[in-house]
Structures are given as C-alpha cells and as structure tokens.
Amino acid sequence: MNRKLLIAWVMMSCTLVLFSQEPVKEGSLGKMEDFISLKRPNGRHVGSYFKGSKIDFQHVNGQRISGFIESVRNDSVFVRQWQVQTYMTSLGTTRVDTAGYYIHKLHYQEIFSIFPMKKESFRYVRNGSIFMIGAGGYALLNIINGAYLDEPIDDPANLRSLGTAVGVFAGGFILNRLYKSKQRKGKQYKIVYVKMTDK
C-alpha cells in the first residue's frame, strides 16, 4: 500500500510542477519559427536547420562559421559561435575554456555553402593518407635496414620493393587530391528559406 501511495504522490507532484510553470502566451503554442532547408540540385531533402540546430557553413567571403542557430526570422539567420581559448594556469599548465560568444547576423543568401553533418566512415582510407603514410614508412624502413645491413639501394630486389612503395604513395597522393577537390567544390546543395510565420 505504501508503494502505491508513493507513486501517486510522485505523479501528483510532477503534475503540479508541470502546470505551475509560467502560462503560455496566447498564440505561441504550436507556432514554429522559419527555418532553412538544404536540398540537392534534384530537389531531394538533405537537412533542415532551425532554432537550436548546429550548423557549419561557409560565408560568401570565405569565412567558415560553426555554431548553433539562435533564431531564423525575416530572411535572416542568427548563429551563436563560441570563442574557445587556451590560457595558462597558476601551476604553469594550459587549459581550454570558453571565453565568450559572438552572434553572427546574416541574410540566408550570404551562406555560400552548408556542410551537412554526416558521419564519414574510413575517411583516412578514402582521402589516401593511410596509403601515403604506409608507403613512406615502408620506404624509410627499407632504406634504414639496407644501410644497417650494408645492402646497396640499387639491388634489384630492393628496387622492386621501393618501386612498390613509390607506386602506393602515388596512388594515395592521387586519392588525396581527388578527395580535396570534391571537398572544395562549393555549392553542392541548394539553400531554401522556408517561411513559417505571417510577418
């Protein structure tokens, strides 16, 4: 019996706390602010950005801005960008802390490109860096071992191994350049302002 009484008391307390809050203003219930929709050139929806969303974009002047959307209204976007700084403590060590924030106010057409938040698996393989690191390490180890064992670098077996390492490094370099050019492409998506308010 005590357990049922405790559950009823907790439920009543939660209900009282819920309904004793500040009253909702008339007309504000169920009202949504404007938002920005990101679409592919074929019209397919990629993402939506509204108040409270994290956004990472490039301004038309080339500046990359990352932060949380404070508000979207009157064709303008307000983005809060946190300023994080490293400072020295009294013990001589460094610490990272938030120094403050800055709110960027800009017209939605000033956004050159939005970088959607997508998880990219095996990026180090796709951008070729793992191939370049592996091939460079193998070639360096091959040369060091050859010097240690007094083997000539121009030995046919050694040249075949070094040639393989150079080929893998070149393949990784090509992958890296292709990956970077895809990243720099500019507007891959269309930015659409969706008006939800009457004003």
Q: What is the pLDDT of residues 151-173, one digit of tens each?
A: 888 888 888 888 999 999 999 88
Least confident stretch, 1-10, 32-41, 157-166, 188-197: 1-10
Answer yes or no: are the C-beta atoms of 38 and 85 closer than 8 Å.
no
Least confident stretch, 35-44, 112-121, 128-137, 138-147: 112-121
Please give the pLDDT value at position 69.
92
Answer yes or no: are the C-beta atoms of 64 and 57 closer than 8 Å.
yes
Q: How confident is the model at residue 96 (pLDDT cuts 50, 70, 90)?
A: confident
First to last CA, the chain: 56
Q: How confident is the model at residue 22 (pLDDT cuts 50, 70, 90)?
A: low
Burial 99-119 (b: 16+ CB within 10 A, else e): eeeeebeeeeeebbbbeeeee
Q: What is the pLDDT of residues 54-94, one digit of tens each?
A: 998 888 898 888 899 999 988 899 999 888 888 888 888 88
d(CA 49, CA 105): 15
1 or 138, higher pLDDT: 138
Average pLDDT across the chain, whole number: 80
Predicted structure pTM score: 0.51
Q: How confident is the model at residue 46 (pLDDT cuts 50, 70, 90)?
A: confident
d(CA 65, CA 67): 7
Q: How confident is the model at residue 179 (pLDDT cuts 50, 70, 90)?
A: confident
Please give the pLDDT value at position 119.
61
Give the Å distances, CA to CA, from 97 to 67, 93, 156.
16, 13, 57
